[in-house]
Chain A
Amino acid sequence: METAATDMTMGCTETEEVWASGWPRSIREFETFVDVFLDRLVRFAFHRLGNLEEAEDVVQDVLVKAYADREKLRRVKQVSAYTYRMTANACADHRRRRTVLSLDDIGAEGIPDQRDEASQQIEAVEELERIEQYLRRLPRRQAEVIALRVLDQLSLADIAEIVGCGLPTVKARLRYGLQKLHRIVPREMEGSI
């Protein structure tokens, strides 16, 4: 278990081997679980929120809640997929709250300027915005699959579990999405690829 747990680049298959017995039950198992997922979940949340601090807060809440609810979740078998889904939902909730805040409370000053963040994060946010410009031009489900594959570096099997559909469907969405991107990306990113 330790070898697999320290392999931060592994895909769903190895992760599922690690957590084949289900949800982590003890604080020691939970720590291994955090070692496996934390980095990837923060990246995953960052790609949905565009803000590292908020991404960390969301992931922290998700993982602690997952541990607090471990008895309820003990029958969950697809631990990896379930954790990503929890994080995606938490990000969506967070974005909704942020929208309410920006409309009601921020007023004329608008959304806080992310350029106040550290330069690394600014560049990452700008890059993310650039990528999202292309993904927004795809049908939502195709964009979702490509984002999970490209931004979150997830395997197609992982993606199938996270979005809740079969592997053939994921492959089809990736294929059709790529066909559309062939027509968009090379023209507009001339010299970039």
Chain B
Amino acid sequence: MNCREFRKRQVELLDIGPMPADLLRHIEECPQCAREHAESQAVLSALSPTQEISMSSDLKERIMSRATEVDSLQHSRKRVWARPMQFALAAVMVLAVVLGGSWLAGHNAGRQGSASAILSDAAEAAAAVHTVHITARMRTPANDNFDLIMADSEFTPVEIWTQSGDVSKWRIEKPARVAAMDGKSTVMVVQPGVGSPMAWDFPPTSGVAGWLAPLLDVNSLLRYERETASRDGSKVSVEKKQGRILLTIQAAAKGNFSESDYAKNKSVLESDNIRVYAFDAQTRRLEGMEVYIDTGAGRTLVFEITGIEYDTPVTASLFEVQVPKDAVWQKSASEIPGTADNSDMTPKQVAEAFFAAMASEDWDAMRNYAGNLFDNKGLRDRFGGLTIVSIGEPFKSGLYRGWFVPYEVKLKSGEVKKHNLAIRNDNPRHQWHFDGGF
């Protein structure tokens, strides 16, 4: 090797990994090239940082926690919209009788083509719009999860706004719970029955929309229905009525109810349900949707779209929740320094420790199980100092990934609460945390 060749390849000695033997041999033999190489090394060394950057010790945990949320949401979406269609294919004749529907085509192949074409056209129509505003009503408490349905409760108004484009945005609102995703994060504010409002800052892909999530992307929803129908040979119930095309899907309740039917009929997924889409016969745009559940005591309408507006102008502020000044931003236990590892506890021990902390008003201990939820003075005043009457055996039910623990407590006010505490530990570090039921 001559010096010219060496100079051309000298940077290979500055790479990571083994140094080329022919280059090393050359600098052993050539003092001039050896000096030039040493100078290059010195320049790089002078530019190399000497200060180490130490990232936060909980960064990995935060990332894994968010990834787990993404996982849950994506699995949830698959559950909602995949299996019901498959069930509907098997139950299609029952539907035809129940709903009194008539097929658009006279034979099986024709029916398949009709349903697929309708969904395809509807998906195309949805893809062409920029904003969608859905008004609906749902049998659900005003401040509880967007998932929760209560067949015997009154209807609660629900509104959904979505905006598509380079960055998708959405907002879901019911009277005492609102969540909005502005492309960067999801902010949710809940007005609890007592105490200050509670606020959360979630990643954009959080699962707070629950069962309503598919309605945040009507285009994807319909496209998926079409693909499933096409792949499975399509036997979808279709009816034409008053300028509308009605497409009906029936599904059996999902989840494991062998231990308890506590979660049965608490969400659409965990109910025997019938979903009916209504499309405009001309434009093929989605115009409505109804969801019925069969509780055994009869069929009940639990969700109904009452109006859809397409491409109405929206302002950017619509996708930003106005957080009240007195709202308490919620933190999980992992975000609070000094909280203890509770991964080795049993579900019952967690419930016992949760109520013991509440009984003794040990709010530091409570942070191990509920983050800063009980930093809320209103909640402390109402539940602090309660008396534990009983704590039962934990059980699983439906699709819930955690455990339910039956309990009975007596509050300072004399009120007796008898319910099931929901706790879960399906996070990377298997930390138990309070999830509802109180």
Contacts and interface: CB of A to CB of B under 8 A. Distances in A.
A34 B64 contact: yes
A146 B272 CA distance: 62
Nearest to B185: A61
B12 A193 contact: no
Contact of B49 (A35, A124, A193): A124
Given A34-B64, A38-B60, A67 B70 contact: yes
B39 A182 contact: yes
Given A13-B17, A146-B47, 8 more contacts: A34-B64, A42-B59, A64-B70, A64-B205, A127-B50, A185-B47, A193-B43, A193-B46
Q: Chain B at the A interface: mostly helix, strand, loop or mixed?
A: helix
Interface of B: 7-12, 14-17, 39-40, 42-56, 59-60, 62-64, 66-68, 70-71, 74, 203, 205, 428
Interface in A39-68: 39, 42-43, 46, 52, 56, 59-61, 63-65, 67-68
B187 to A, nearest CB: 15
Given A34-B63, A60-B62, A64-B205, A178 B49 contact: no
B71 A134 contact: no
B7 to A, nearest CB: 8
B184 to A, nearest CB: 8
Contact of A64 (B9, B47, B67): B67
A56 B55 contact: yes
A67 B205 CA distance: 11
Contacts of A101: none
Contact of A34 (B54, B60, B74): B60
Contacts of B16: 11, 153-156
Contact of A178 (B8, B40, B50): B40
A47 to B, nearest CB: 8
A65 to B, nearest CB: 8
A185 B43 contact: yes
Interface residues of A, number: 50
A165 interface: no
Nearest to A124: B51
A54 to B, nearest CB: 12
The interface centre, meaning the residue of A31, A34, A64 with most chain B CB atoms within 10 A of its CB, is: A64
Top 10 closest pairs, chain A to chain B, by CB? A124-B51, A155-B16, A193-B46, A11-B16, A42-B55, A64-B66, A193-B42, A174-B11, A67-B67, A68-B70
11 contacts: A27-B68, A42-B55, A46-B53, A56-B56, A63-B67, A64-B67, A67-B67, A127-B49, A151-B47, A186-B39, A186-B43
A21 to B, nearest CB: 19
Interface string A142-163: 0000100111011110000000
Given A134-B47, A150-B44, A178-B40, A60 B12 contact: no
A131 B46 CA distance: 8
A42 B55 CA distance: 7
Given A27-B71, A182-B39, A60 B63 contact: yes
A141 interface: no
A183 to B, nearest CB: 10
A108 interface: no
Contacts of B53: 42-43, 46, 52, 120-121, 124
B260 to A, nearest CB: 28
B11 A175 contact: yes
B87 to A, nearest CB: 24
B43 A181 contact: yes
A171 B42 CA distance: 18
A1 interface: no
Contacts of B62: 60
A156 B55 contact: no
A156 B46 contact: no
Nearest to B70: A68
A192 interface: yes
Contacts of B8: 175
Given A128-B49, A131-B49, A38 B55 contact: yes
Nearest to B67: A67
Nearest to A180: B43
A60 B70 CA distance: 13
Given A31-B64, A31-B428, A156 B15 contact: yes
Contacts of B71: 27
A28 B14 CA distance: 35
A181 B64 contact: no
A127 B10 contact: no
A60 B66 contact: yes
B70 to A, nearest CB: 5
Contacts of B11: 156, 171, 174-175, 178
Interface in A9-45: 11, 13, 27, 30-31, 34-35, 38-39, 42-43
Contact of A181 (B17, B47, B68): B47
Given A11-B16, A64-B205, A127 B51 contact: yes
Interface string A78-107: 000000000000000000000000000000
B50 A61 contact: no
Nearest to A188: B46
Given A38-B59, A64-B205, A182 B40 contact: yes
A67 B63 CA distance: 10
A185 B60 CA distance: 38
